[in-house]
Structure 1
Amino acid sequence: ADRLRDLIRAGYNVFFTTSFGFMEGTHAVAQQYPNLIFWHCSGYLRDKNMGTYFADFYQIYYLNGLAAGALTKTGKVGYVAAFLIPEVVRHLSAFAIGAREVAQQRGLNLTLYVIEIGAWYDPAKARSAAETLVNQYGVDVIAFTEDSTAIVEYAQEQFSLGKEIYVFSHYSPMYVYGEDVVVSGQLVRWEIIYADILGKIKAGIYTPTNLQNVDYWYLLNTGAVEMAAHVFPNGSVMYINPKFVEPLKGVTVTDKISGKTMSVYDLIWLRYEQMRNAPMLMSFQQIATSHIYENVTSITITIGGTPTTYPIAPVFDPFMGPLSGYKIDNPSQKVTVAPGARLGHADLWSMDWVPDFVRIIGKI
C-alpha cells in the first residue's frame, strides 16, 4: 500500500498490483482514491474503481498432464505446489486429470503426489520437494507452481547421472535449463491483458466508476496463455520439445469423447485446438453447465431454400464430469461432479478439493 501511495504522489493514475498478497492493500488504497483506477491480479475483491484480472493455466496443465501420462514409467507423478490455494489446486488437479486419462489406457494406476512449499519463489525448498518426490515416492515426472528453474535444473542433473525425470516449464520458458528433460510447459503473455485493459481505459470504456464487476479470467482461447517449452529470439514457439515428439506419437489411446484411436501427440493437439478455438471468450459463470452437446460440431441454417453448414468449435474443458474427489482439509468429505456437468468459474475459483488419485503429502 505504501508503494501505491508513492506512485500516486508521483502523479500516476492507473495501477496494477501483480500478486495475490497485494489484494487487501490495493483495495484499501482504491477506496481512499475513488478517482483513480486500480487493477489487482488473481484476487477477488473489486470496487467501482478496482477491477481484477488473471491468466489461468489449468488448461495448459491438463495438456502437460496428457504428456506426463504417456511418459511416466512408474505411474507415479509429482507436483510441487507453492500454496494449496484454489489457483494451484485447479492447476495440479487438471494436470492429474490429463495424466490419468492417458496412463489408465497404458495399464497404469496413476497417482499424483503433491508437496506444498509455502512460497512462490524458494529454489531450495522447490529442489528439496522434488528430491523427496523422486527418492521417497518414486515419481518420474514433475510439474510445479514455483517461479524458479530449480526443479528443471535438478531434473537435468539427474538425467546427466542416468536417471530420467521429466518436467514442464512454469510461467516462463525453461527449456535452456533442461534441454533433455523439459517436455513442454506453460507460458503467460500478460501483454495481451494489459493491452486490452489500457486500450479500454484510453477509449473511456473503463472508468473509476464501473469496474466493480470487471473480472478478466483469460484462458487458452484468448491468447494470454500458451503451451510452450521455449520461445526463440525471433518469437517463434517450441510447443513441445522435439526430443519427446516421437515418444508421444508412439503411445496410442482412445479419445474418451469421440471414441477415435490416436497417438497421445495427436490427442494433445486435438485438445489444444478444442480449447484454443473455444467460441466463448468469457468463461462459464454458472455453478455447473451441461456438457451433453460436446460432439455437436456444426449447425445447418437454411435461407431461401439454400442450406449452409457452419462449424462450431468444441467447448471441451478438463473439469468435465464424471469426476470424484475429496476435500483437502477434510478428506472424509467426498466431492462428485456428475457426468455431463462442467465446472464453472465459481467452482474453480473456490476449488478446495482434489481428484481421488491425488495424494497430498504435506508441507515442507
Structure 2
Amino acid sequence: MTTAQWIAVVVIVAIVSSGLTYFLVPAKTVTEVIEKEVTPKIKAGWIYVGPIGDYGWTKAHDEGRLFCEQIFPWLETTYVESVSEGDCPRVIEDLIADGCTVIFTTSFGFMDPTLEMAKKHPDIIFWHCSGYKRYKNMGTYFSEFYQLYYLNGLMAGALTKTNKIGYVAAHTIPEVVRHINAFAIGVKEVNPDAVVYVRVIHAWYDPTKAREAAEALIAEGCDVLAFTEDSPTVIEVGQEYTEKGQQIYTFSHYSPMEDYGPDSCVSGQIAHWEVIYADILAKIYAGYYTTTNLENIDYWWMLRQGACELGGKVGEPINPKFVDELKAIMVTDKITGEELSVYDLVMRRLAQMSEDVPTFDPFTGPLYDNKGVLRARPGERLGHDELWTMQWWYENVVGPELGG
C-alpha cells in the first residue's frame, strides 16, 4: 500500500468516526489527499431484501449507500431492491456484468447464496450483512442493536399499565431472538410483573401481517408494542389507537420513525450503516481489504463505534412527549442499589454501554430462560458466539417454540 493510500484511510476513518452522519461530510475534505495519486474508481452494488420505501431496514441501508456515494468521488454505486433469497445469485451475476467489483448483500437469507457466488467469483469482493459465514473474498458486518433494545425495554416495562407488552417479530432467527431477549431483560429489570408476548409474521416486510399482529396483541391487552419488521406499520397502528383515546406506546426499528407516531413512539433504534460502509469502502480503496484476506473480517459494531443510535428520531434519544412521564417513575439500579428515575437509568446505561470498554452489558447473569434453565451464571457475560446462536427465550417471554 502506498503512503498516499495509508493517509487516505486515516483521513476517511477519522472523519467517519467523528459522528458526522446523514450526508454532512464534504467529499473534497475526505479525498483531497487521495486525488494526488491516480487510483481506479470502485463500483459497488447493494442487494436489498425489501423496497427502499419500507422506511425501515432497507431504507437505512440505502441511506448508508447514498452517504458513501456523496463523500467518495471515486465511488460509483448501484442497487437492486426487493430481491428474494432464491433470486440472489442471478442478481449478483447481473451486478458483476454491470461492472461491480464490490457487492453488499443485506439480508440474513442471502448468506448462503453470497458464499456460493464468492467461491464462483474469486476476483469480486463480497460483504454479507447479519450472517456468520465468511470466505477469503467475503466478509461480514452488522450494526448490532441489542443494547438499544435493552434500553427500549427499560422504558417499555416502566410505561405499561397492563403489564402486557407485545412484540411483532419477522422471524425467529438468532438475531431477532437476541433482540427480543435484550428487550425483555430491560422490561424485567424495572417491572418483574410484565410479560412480553411474541407474534411471528414470517416475513421481513409485510405491512398487512404486521398490522394484523399489532392489532391482535392490542386486543389481548398489550399497551406497549415493539417489533422487527421493515415498515413503520406498528408505529402507525399505535398512533391510530392513541388518537382514538387508547394510549399505545411503541418503539421504532432501524430508521427514524417517530413522525409516523408522534403521540405513540417513545424511542427506538436507528442504524448508522454509513459508518460501517464508509470504513469498509475506504479500506478497499486503499488496498487494505482485498479478495484474499476477508475470511476473518467481521464487523460487529455497536454504540461505542457509532454504528447505532437510541431514538425514534436522529439526535433525540427519547420523544420529548414522554420524558416527564419517564422522569416521574422511580426504580432501583440493580447494580448500585440507588433509587433513580427510569429516564436517568436509561441515560446511565446508555453512557455505560457507549464507553470504549463498556461497563455494563444486559446479557450478564444470572439469566434464566422461560423454562427455568440457567443460561448465564451470576456475573457471567454472554459472548459473541452465545449471542449469535441464541435460540431460547428469556424468562418473561411468551413465544413460539425454538430450536435451542
Shorter-chain TM-score bucket reads 0.7 to 0.9
Task: State the partner residue of 1:304.
Answer: none
Structure 1 residue 319 corresponds to structure 2 residue 358: no
1:207 to 277, 290, 302: 290
Structure 1 residue 123 corresponds to structure 2 residue 207: yes
Structure 1 residue 176 corresponds to structure 2 residue 259: yes
Task: State the partner residue of 2:123.
Answer: 35
Write the distance in 2 (CA, Å) between the matches of 1:41 and 1:246: 38
Q: Which runs of 4+ in 1 moved over 4 A?
A: none
Task: State the partner residue of 1:88.
Answer: 176
Higher strand share: 1
Structure 1 residue 239 corresponds to structure 2 residue 317: yes
2:390 to 337, 342, 351: 351
Q: Which amino acid in the other structure matches residue 120 of structure 2?
A: Q
Task: State the partner residue of 1:132.
Answer: 216
Q: TM-score, normalised by structure 2?
A: 0.76
1:21 to 106, 109, 112: 109
Q: Which amino acid in the other structure matches residue 195 of structure 1?
A: A
Q: Which runs of 5+ in 1 are unaligned?
A: 232-236, 280-313
Instruction: Check conservation: 1:69, 1:103, Cα contact below 8 A.
Output: yes
Write the distance in 2 (CA, Å) between the matches of 1:315 and 1:41: 27
Task: State the partner residue of 1:301.
Answer: none
Structure 1 residue 5 corresponds to structure 2 residue 88: no
Higher helix share: 2
Instruction: Check conservation: 1:335, 1:353, Cα contact below 8 A.
Output: no
Write the distance in 2 (CA, Å) between the matches of 1:42 and 1:344: 16
Task: State the partner residue of 2:29.
Answer: none
Q: TM-score, normalised by structure 1?
A: 0.84
Q: Which amino acid in the other structure matches residue 271 of structure 1?
A: R
Task: State the partner residue of 2:277.
Answer: 194
2:303 to 196, 202, 220: 220
Task: State the partner residue of 1:293.
Answer: none
1:272 to 342, 346, 350: 350
Cα displacement (A) at 1:256:
0.8
Task: State the partner residue of 2:185.
Answer: 97
**CA RMSD for the aligned pairs?**
1.4
SS in structure 2 opposite 1:257?
A: coil
Cα displacement (A) at 1:335:
4.0
2:147 to 45, 59, 63: 59
Q: Give the fraction of aligned pairs with identical amino acids, expressed as a percent.
A: 57
Q: Which amino acid in the other structure matches residue 338 of structure 1?
A: R
2:228 to 112, 135, 145: 145
Instruction: Check conservation: 2:366, 2:374, Cα contact below 8 A.
Output: no
Cα displacement (A) at 1:361:
5.4
Cα displacement (A) at 1:44:
1.2
Write the distance in 2 (CA, Å) between the matches of 1:85 and 1:9: 33
Cα displacement (A) at 1:336:
2.5
Task: State the partner residue of 1:286.
Answer: none
Q: Which runs of 5+ in 2 are unaligned?
A: 1-88
Structure 1 residue 252 corresponds to structure 2 residue 252: no
Task: State the partner residue of 1:111.
Answer: 195
Instruction: Check conservation: 1:116, 1:362, Cα contact below 8 A.
Output: no
